[in-house]
Structures are given as C-alpha cells and as structure tokens.
Amino acid sequence: EVQLVESGGGLVQPGGSLRLSCEASGFTFSRDSMNWVRQAPGKGLEWVSYISYTGLTIYYADSVKGRFTISRDNARNSLFLQMNSLRAEDTAVYYCARDFYDFGIDYWGQGTLVTVSS
C-alpha cells in the first residue's frame, strides 16, 4: 500500500523558516517523481514544486521561487521542502504527492499544516 506521511508543520513567525518532510513507503520511491501541493484554509489547491525521480529536474511555482527548496533522499525514501522567508500567505496544508507518469498526481499524503503568524 502506498503511504506518504508528512511532518514538520507548525506555527512560525513571518520571515521564519520551516522544513517539511515526507516519508514514503509501499512503492519504489527512487523511481517516482514527487510534488508538493498546498491548500490555504477554505481555499483551492495550489501546486508548489516538483522534483524528478533523479532529483535533477526541479520546478517551482512563481509564488515560492527563491524562498522554497525541494529536495529528496532516495536512500531514505524521503522528500523535503525547505521553506524560508515565510509569509502569511504561505499558511496552508502542505501535501506530499506522487507524480503519475506526468499525467497527474495519483497519491497524496494526509497533509501537514503550516501557519505563518505573529
């Protein structure tokens, strides 16, 4: 069974940093590209970042470019999102999500809530 378990969310002040982690199991993590997608409270979905299975291809949404860094450790079956210079508008549930052969996103974690507030 595919499982994606996020951790690392919490309350942080504007301008602060946070590192999200996602532990994957139930599939060969090193063969699949991954994404982070977020959802602000009561709002729709926003794609945040993508990393290929090798880690060599990385994309970001303009809203986070230069502030967030996606990475992965295939030996530890883990995906990460380093978030710096956080803003109130970054407040959201952050989902770790698996790429489905460039057609979509087929598995999602349960999400971790990041709240940016003073």
Q: What's the burial of 81, exposed, middle or buried (CB within 10 Å: 0-12/13-18/19+)? A: buried
CB of 90 to other proteins, least distance (A): 16
* 113 touching other proteins, by CB under 8 A: no
Cβ-based nearer residue to other proteins, 69 or 105: 105
Could you tell me which stretch among 17-25, 70-78, 79-87, 104-112 binds other proteins (CB under 8 A)?
104-112
CB of 13 to other proteins, least distance (A): 27
- The residue assigned the tokens 């989902």 is 95
Contacts (CB under 8 A) with other proteins, residues 14-73: 44-47, 50, 59-62
Q: 99-108: long-range contacts (C-beta < 8 A, 24 or more apart)?
A: 99/32, 99/33, 99/34, 99/35, 99/50, 102/33, 105/35, 105/37, 107/2, 107/4, 108/4, 108/37
We find the least distance from the C-beta atom of residue 38 to other proteins, in angstroms, to be: 11
The site for other proteins (CB under 8 A) is made up of 44-47, 50, 59-62, 95, 100, 102-106, 108-111
